[in-house]
Amino acid sequence: MSTHKKLIVWQKAHELAIAVYRITEAFPRHEQFGITSQLRRATLSIPTNIVEGYSRESNKEFIRFIDIARGSLAEAQYLLEFAKEIGYSTTDITPVENLTHEVGKLLWSFQQNLKNKSVH
């Protein structure tokens, strides 16, 4: 049985979600229900939409879930940029930002492949 865990795009998105959870541990406590929560939800939405799309029966549906994942990625990229500009991160978030760009490229190319053929 094939599984979403074999997809490189899912593996990198999962890695991104974990990285964001770790860096947001250092965000100010008063932001726990603000930017911290929003950033975590946005990044966790990326691999979960890949998983949900993978479980669908058609590539058309899967493509829709990849679109949602791409939107969540864009939100996360902005929130990371915002957090960096206001000094919320006590560690260098450049590696996480680089990972967002890698995930973006993978999502785009994966979506193009879905449009051209069956991936399941």
Kindly report, residue by residue over 21-59, the tens digit of the pLDDT.
999 999 989 988 899 999 999 999 999 999 999 999 889
Looking at residue 89, its pLDDT comes to 76
Tell me the domain boundaries of the chain.
4-116
Q: Torsion-angle region of residue 92: left (phi > 0), alpha (psi -120 to 50) or beta?
A: beta
pLDDT at residue 90 is higher than 90: no
pTM above 0.95, yes or no: no
d(CA 12, CA 17) in angstroms, rounded, equals 9
pLDDT at residue 1 is higher than 70: no
Q: Please state which CATH number belongs to domain 4-116.
A: 1.20.1440.60
pLDDT at residue 70 is higher than 90: yes
